[in-house]
Chain A
């Protein structure tokens, strides 16, 4: 597939490009970084890992000029480095590629590349040299292997292509260090491989890379040096050769997780079917989908982006329409499902995009958890809420899913970490005690500790007799959690694997075979 895994730099040699010593930073009296120090070398990739809130972003924001350090010292190319702001940092040769990309979608690639400084016809006068701009843009795009005319509008590009444009922009600014923050969360596997190829190329050109990610596999695959942060402290610093995934996890969480995936009692997975799907077809999204989900079973759904997994989930929960087929929940056929009908029949649905469809970000935790269950706590003509009973149950639920917040009535969800936000959504659905729970990317963008807690909740739920349909792009996770895995591609079910017969390569092949073939022509 890709040469990425085989490429690696020689052990560090010569003076470091960036040298960080005793970095401290506090916000409102709370120390978020405590004497952090590490070095970055030209032509090497440094992997930075840690749970959410461990200080990765703060460290990078200081390097990127967004925040100022309280104390400590950064040497960049042998000179004292104290950027006055993000623009100053980028002028000095630091490029920061954020998780949420900073491109203007309604402008062309070329315009984005030169948004801060267009080539001028006459220096000092505001006339753009369009010819020079196009030529330079083509060069930069070639450097990141992107074969697209620079006049293309950014909103026509895929997520992966946009990322490459960002990298081209960094190259255009003559960056010496490029920082990547979670670059692969919204990329397909192929796009990820392509990105890694580019990163390897940059490394060979002598550019230093700082790579932040939750996906430890990627870190192992890509990085030369690895730095682990926990609670604002540096807890591990090693060459890749001296590091394992297990060790990274235990350093990150500060305790040994012998197993990231908690053990499951698969004996229960023989209950009656709770969800039966027969020949569901909807033009353009899914084709002839049939399967059944039993009580106590975790059924994983694998596939590439655009394989129709989320579309299927949305159909099952009555959000989107379907052309033909049958959905039977707990023995009852849902002829015209809507979210309300599905919920009344014991279904729950955790959407892949928790910001857009899962949460009221501006509302407190308790209101979010209560939202789906309000009617069960209300009565009388006016549907007055029995707030004593509701608050008691919501508090109990919040504790049971271990949301790390003291005051659930006054903490807004937007102020929570990704993991805690996800637990709020889960808590909302668990309050309804669902018998069929559809989870779409339940651990996307959350840290290892929170992932583990989410897994435990899923197991607990399955052990309680619920059927769980879990969609995920992390094969590791599906293999670790599922009783069965269905693989989807092009809106169809391509293969189903039983636990015991899970094979990562087979799973990937089932998901990709068609994709590769159709792309080859």
Chain B
């Protein structure tokens, strides 16, 4: 081969490398690492063991909510009620747990009862969302918007019934440990919870009949119905799973803050949906993986933590976060164009 041939060949090869990176499902992770490296030069503290552990800790509850949301997104729905489930579960759970006259206080089962109360709230609200969406054919956007508003209000009302203050504190130490505790010398206990939830979610999505059905319903509900997929049941359970996941996240949040508060998680909705979508989960359904959601949550958490570390005035914080997410969106759009062109 002559030398001209060599250059002619190597250029497309380098291009192919870029293209491969762009199309890879690890793209968001690569972007995160790149962003992290840039931030390292600006705030070196981001690379300390403490901060890394902090990032891990901060990710955990958000990740559990996002995993639940992924199920709903895959069936082409959306669950806007996640924040209100977190808030409602937080105050209901805390009212069971609290040493200040909690329902289960002094029974010896308070922690188990409390956790069951959390999960029950998530399951009940999820069930309600699922029933309305499937039985009355209402758009999930409207259903969950309504439940979001209702239970955000209900959480505040519930708190005022149980205390004069704006929140319910004095939770048992054993419970707080779920949100704050560590095992194996330093790893947060919440990581263990997330591993279980994430592992189960991954198993369901990739290995079970229900998982395949979820994607089928998201991709083409009519074809799925004709093919014998119980479409309504599949959608129903997606909402229940999302509700329970939000409740589990509420346990972690409430444990960390040692307080049941009715405004818990009120502002995380966009982070949850944003993380899933940045990771690659489609808002139009049929597309999503737990791994992608993890990458999306990691991406947003690293951005948040870096901005917190920088300690800039508020106006610039929003501008920076906005432009980073915009940049990610642009890269994603480029990626789609490359995909279409083949």
Given A362-B287, A378-B209, A385-B208; A356-B222 close (CB under 8 Å): yes
Question: Nearest A residue to B210 by beta-carbon distance?
Answer: A383
Given A371-B229, A372-B227; A382-B208 close (CB under 8 Å): yes
Give CA–CA (A383, B209) in the complex, Å: 6
Residues of B close to A339: CB separation below 8 A: 225-228
Q: Within 8 Å of chain A (Cβ to Cβ): is B108?
A: no
The smallest C-beta distance from B134 to any residue of chain A, in angstroms, reads: 15
> For chain A residues 371-387, which have a beta carbon within 8 Å of chain B?
371-372, 374-375, 378, 382-385, 387
Residues of B close to A319: CB separation below 8 A: 225-226
Q: Which of B94-102, B143-151, B213-221, B247-255 contacts A (4 or more CB under 8 A)?
A: B213-221
Residues of A close to B229: CB separation below 8 A: 371
Residues of B close to A359: CB separation below 8 A: 220, 223
Residues of A close to B113: CB separation below 8 A: none
Give CA–CA (A383, B206) in the complex, Å: 12
Q: Within 8 Å of chain A (Cβ to Cβ): is B313?
A: no
Q: Is the CB of B286 within 8 A of A349?
A: no
The smallest C-beta distance from A185 to any residue of chain B, in angstroms, reads: 20
Q: Is the CB of A382 within 8 A of B220?
A: no
The smallest C-beta distance from A317 to any residue of chain B, in angstroms, reads: 7
> For chain A residues 353-372, which have a beta carbon within 8 Å of chain B?
356-363, 367, 370-372
The smallest C-beta distance from A165 to any residue of chain B, in angstroms, reads: 29
Q: How many of B's residues come within 8 Å of A, CB to CB? A: 24
Given A357-B223, A367-B212, A385-B209; A28-B342 close (CB under 8 Å): yes
Question: Nearest B residue to A367 by beta-carbon distance?
Answer: B212
Among B208, B209, B213, B216, chain A packs the most CB atoms within 10 A around the CB of: B209
Given A375-B209, A383-B210; A358-B287 close (CB under 8 Å): no
Q: Is the CB of B204 within 8 A of A382?
A: yes
Q: Is the CB of A351 within 8 A of B286?
A: no
The smallest C-beta distance from B285 to any residue of chain A, in angstroms, reads: 10
Q: Can you name 26 A-B pairs with beta carbons within 8 Å?
A: A28-B342, A319-B225, A339-B228, A340-B228, A340-B230, A343-B228, A360-B286, A362-B219, A362-B286, A367-B212, A367-B215, A367-B216, A371-B216, A371-B229, A372-B227, A372-B228, A374-B209, A378-B208, A382-B207, A382-B208, A383-B209, A383-B210, A384-B207, A385-B207, A385-B209, A428-B227
Give residues in A with beta carbon < 8 Å to B.
28, 317, 319, 339-340, 343, 349, 351, 356-363, 367, 370-372, 374-375, 378, 382-385, 387, 428
With A339-B226, A372-B228 already in contact, 14 other A-B pairs whose C-beta atoms are closer than 8 Å: A343-B228, A358-B226, A359-B220, A360-B216, A361-B219, A362-B219, A363-B219, A371-B227, A371-B229, A374-B212, A383-B209, A384-B203, A384-B207, A385-B209
